[in-house]
Structure 1
Amino acid sequence: MGGIQVLRGGAQPEVSDFDLAWLERGDEVRKPLGYAAEVAFEEVAPVRGFPSYRGQRHFPGLYWSATTGRHVGFESWLERDHAILMDFDPQVVGFASHPRSS
């Protein structure tokens, strides 16, 4: 199934069952998901921009986050709404949109 693990009988996957991949200085880094807590993805630039053009069917923009103290890009109102929900959640300490590790 292309790297997707299917668990049967109500078994729950463990954090160690998943890998996370990102670019760092142009090289791919692949680590166990638990390692992600040590990477400040919210402090890196997006992997691509959020272009807007006449006649497009979605609404990109920037949301000012009180949690991160900076703008977070979004490509649709749905992404913006999720950013707002995360910004108001006291358990969220940071979030980013399409982060690129530099």
Structure 2
Amino acid sequence: MREADEGLTEDVGQFNATYVTIAGVERRVPLARLPDVVPQLGRPVRSFPSYRGQRSFPGWYWSATLGRRIGFESWVERDQLVALDFDPAVVGIVSQSF
């Protein structure tokens, strides 16, 4: 890590992230710990509607990392999911988490 990045890491500790588990329980953790709780995150905040004449491209991507489907709403989101799924450092992916 470069010296410039170290200051950013320290600042992250000042923030908290609030999330809702699959069971519907609201939890708050330091932002730096958020990657540790990704498996506990609930379902997407909203649905992925599909209708005739739609300008976006919603769908589902099968993630080998997670062993389940993840929703997306555009080609850009799908491409990001594919890239994350091929990265060995990635241990969890959440769709529409915020």
Which residue of structure 2 aligns with residue 54 of structure 1?
Answer: 52
Provide Cα deviations, 1:23-82, integer angstroms capped at 9, x if missing partner: 346565433202313313476321211111111111000000000000000011100000
Which residue of structure 2 aligns with residue 7 of structure 1?
Answer: none
Q: Distance in 2 between matches of 1:39 and 1:64?
A: 21
Higher helix share: 2
Which residue of structure 1 aligns with residue 31 of structure 2?
Answer: 33
TM-score (structure 1 length as normaliser): 0.72
Provide the secondary structure at the position in 1 that maps to 2:70.
Answer: strand
Structure 1 residue ranges without an equivalent (≥5): 1-9
CA RMSD in angstroms comes to 2.5
Question: Could you tell me which of 55, 68, 71 is aligned with 1:70?
Answer: 68
Partner amino acid, structure 1, of 2:50: S
Which residue of structure 2 aligns with residue 82 of structure 1?
Answer: 80
Q: Distance in 2 between matches of 1:58 and 1:90?
A: 29
Contact 1:41 1:99 in 2 (8 A): no
TM-score (structure 2 length as normaliser): 0.75
Provide the secondary structure at the position in 2 that maps to 1:40.
Answer: helix
Which residue of structure 1 aligns with residue 94 of structure 2?
Answer: 96
Deviation at 1:89, TM superposition (A): 0.3
Which gives a bigger RCO, structure 1 or 2 (Cα 8 Å, sep 6+)? 1
Number of matched residues? 91
Question: What percentage of residue pairs aligned between the two structures are identical?
Answer: 51
